[in-house]
Amino acid sequence: MPVESKPSLQDIGTLRDFIRSISQGVYVVTPSGEILDANPALVEIFGAASLEELQRHRSAELVPSKEQRAERLRLLQTQGWLRDFEYQIQRLDGEMRTVRDTVFAQRDENGEIVVMHGIVTDVTEEGDHRALSWGDTPWGAFFAGAPAGLAVLDQSLCFVRVNDRLSQLHRLPVDEHVGRPFSEVVPGLAPAIEPILRSVLDTGHPALDFEVPTSEETTPSEVRYWRFSAFPVGPLHGETTTVGVIVVDVTSARRIEQEVRFDQRYLLAMIENHPLAIVVLDASNRILSVNQAFENMFLYTRTELVGQDVDELVAPEQELAKARELTIRTRAGERLRVEGRRLRKDGTSVEVGIYTIPIALDGELVGAYGMYEDLTLRRLSI
Compute CA distances 213 → 137, 139, 216, 248, 382, whole Å: 35, 30, 10, 12, 58
pTM (two decimals): 0.38
Compute CA distances 32 → 5, 35, 41, 88, 202, whole Å: 41, 9, 22, 18, 24
pLDDT at 240: 57
CATH class of 273-380: alpha beta
pLDDT at 129: 42
**What secondary structure, in 3-state letters, does 280-297 show?**
EEECCCEEEEECHHHHHH
Q: Is 119 helix (H, G, I), strand (E, B) or coil?
A: strand
pLDDT at 109: 84
For the chain of 382 residues, list the mean pLDDT of each consecutive stretch of 10.
50 65 85 89 91 88 84 81 82 88 85 86 65 49 73 87 85 85 87 88 84 63 78 60 83 64 64 86 89 92 91 92 92 90 93 90 82 77 52
**b vs e for 49-87, b when ≥16 Cβ sit within 10 Å of the residue's Cβ?**
eeeeebeebebeebbebeebbebbbebbeeeeebeebbb
From CA 348, how far away is CA 100, in angstroms rounded?
90
Pairing state between β 207-215 and 35-38 = unpaired
Architecture, CATH, for domain 137-254? 2-Layer Sandwich (3.30)
CATH number corresponding to 12-123: 3.30.450.20
pLDDT at 149: 86
Write out the residue limits of the CATH 3.30.450.20 domain(s) in the chain: 12-123, 137-254, 273-380
Cβ contact 201:243 at 8 Å: yes
pLDDT at 10: 53
pLDDT at 339: 92
From CA 141, how far away is CA 248, in angstroms rounded?
19
206 closest CA partner among 225, 228, 189 = 228
pLDDT at 21: 75
Q: How far apart are the first and last CA of the chain?
A: 138
From CA 276, how far away is CA 292, in angstroms rounded?
9
Pairing state between β 113-122 and 242-249 = unpaired
From CA 181, how far away is CA 131, in angstroms rounded?
20
